[in-house]
Amino acid sequence: MHAELWNYERAFESADHVITHPNPTAVSLSVRASALVFSDPRSQALLNLIEKISASNATALIIGETGTGKELIARHIHALSTRRDGPFQAINCGAFSETLVESELFGYERGAFTGAVSSKTGWFESANGGTLFLDEIGDLPQSTQVKLLRVLQEREVVRLGSRKPTPIDVRLIAATNVDLEEAVRAGRFREDLYYRIKVVPVDLPPLRERPGDILPLVEHFLSVYKSRLHTEIPKLAPETIQQLLEYPWPGNIRELENVIHRALLISTSGTLSPKDLGLPRIIANANNQEQRPSLAAFNGTKNNVEFSPSSTIETYQLERVLSQLFETPPPSLYELVNSVLVKKAYEYSNKNQVHTAKLLGISRNILRARLKELNLIA
């Protein structure tokens, strides 16, 4: 164990090249990753793929979990391409309602609809000569999917309220954290568009599958927050390094950044200890296929009680509350639970619809419909 930790420390001391967001403060409250490294062998293989495909104009589809750094990958592809001097535009497809997304993507002419007092350039035209990054492309309404497919085929856009096509020279990079093949089978995503955007698939592994990136990222975030908090970079205790490497990081790079930020805020010494990280204790189940925090850590008790393999932190407390409700069920129990869930998630996300939809694992359009039913939005 000591030799293994020593090797990790050596890697920690000599972090590889770090890719950062050009405006880190813009993602400080989001679920996006603000930094990316290529130290782990799987990350190095990914970097080799990026370098190979960057020179082309082929449409790429980046597939990865939330917080893994999909936008950073797209920006790196753009930076290595012949389009690097052109604009890089990024848009979150889940951030706009169905009625707005087309005008945002394709633009509109004056008088195209009520409130259109002047013409507006869409994102495709704004990215002309460069790269357009469409994140969460699986959230696009099907009507918009049809128009997007035509734009990609014809290489021209037609603004809303206009009949005149505008030629465009844009490389498209799309991203998703959902299974688009399943969405195609379910009829939520067009099959022809799926194959049109998946010319070059780029699989971005979650952080737990590239552990060689963890300590270089820790070093980067320690340096970032050391500057912001005007403090010294602390040392890492061996057991702290071990916990950082063993934790499965379900929130990926974004979660790691938050943990390091918090640790620097609460640490009272020059060495970060496991308690400064605030991570739950990890245990292995009987099949050694999945790792889960102990129930004792979840409840904040000292009891040495563990989950059964079928239990999770996410379901334990919920099941306990539901069992209590079942004993004396209120009227319309389903509606009550659903409405409370949506309301609390909306409040927790500071009434940000994109963050609320991410938290609940649903599309923004579905969320908006539910918020309207609850009279939380007009």
Give CA 191 to chain center in angstroms. 24
pLDDT of residue 319: 67
For the chain, domains (ranges, CATH) are 41-205 (3.40.50.300), 208-299 (1.10.8.60), 330-373 (1.10.10.60)
pLDDT of residue 315: 54
> Mind listing the pLDDT tens digit for each residue in 125-143?
999 999 999 999 999 999 8
Query: Across residues 353-369, what is the average pLDDT?
Result: 88
Outline where DSSP puts E strands in the chain: 18-20, 35-37, 60-63, 88-92, 131-135, 156-157, 166-167, 171-176, 200-203, 235-236, 271-272, 282-284, 291-293
pLDDT of residue 31: 54
Query: Across residues 49-57, what is the average pLDDT?
Result: 93
How far is residue 284's CA from residue 235's CA, in Å, rounded to a whole number? 28
| Residue 274 clears pLDDT 70, i.e. is over it | yes
> Mind listing the pLDDT tens digit for each residue in 67-86?
999 999 999 999 999 999 99
Mean pLDDT for the chain overall: 82
pLDDT of residue 119: 87
> Dihedral, CA atoms, 304, 305, 306, 311, nearest 10 degrees?
-160
> Mind listing the pLDDT tens digit for each residue in 313-327?
445 457 667 777 787
How far is residue 21's CA from residue 74's CA, in Å, rounded to a whole number? 11
pLDDT of residue 247: 94
How far is residue 145's CA from residue 194's CA, in Å, rounded to a whole number? 10
Lowest mean pLDDT among 50-64, 139-153, 249-263, 292-306: 292-306
| Residue 331 clears pLDDT 80, i.e. is over it | yes
